[in-house]
Amino acid sequence: MYILKEGRAAYLEFLRNLTPQILMLSLAFFVGRKIDFTQLDWAYATPTFIFYSFMLIAIFAAYANATLFMEKYSPSLQVVRLLAELTHSN
């Protein structure tokens, strides 16, 4: 199993990066529980903006964390990237 050998550092970094994602989602849910999404009212404009901001940050953080993990964890991606560079250089 690769994750028990060379993949340990990538896996631990992935787990360390989960903390900010969980924090952003928790803040989004905390702000979002006070919003009535069925009404279009300016009283909810600021909390709604904050809610969607935290959600976007959490989504981008999850994407970045997952792609970094896959790049570091999967050695076969390096072979694919090298082949792509070779085909584009010709």
Tokens of 14: 């992935």
- Parent domain of 10: 2-89
For 1-90, where are the alpha helices, taking DSSP H only?
Answer: 8-16, 18-32, 45-73, 76-89
**Domain count of the chain?**
1
What is the per-residue pLDDT for 44?
78
pLDDT digits (tens, 9 = 90+) for 15-60: 999 999 999 999 999 999 988 878 788 887 888 899 999 999 999 9
Length of the chain: 90
Greatest CA span in the chain, whole angstroms?
59
Between 12 and 79, the higher pLDDT residue: 12
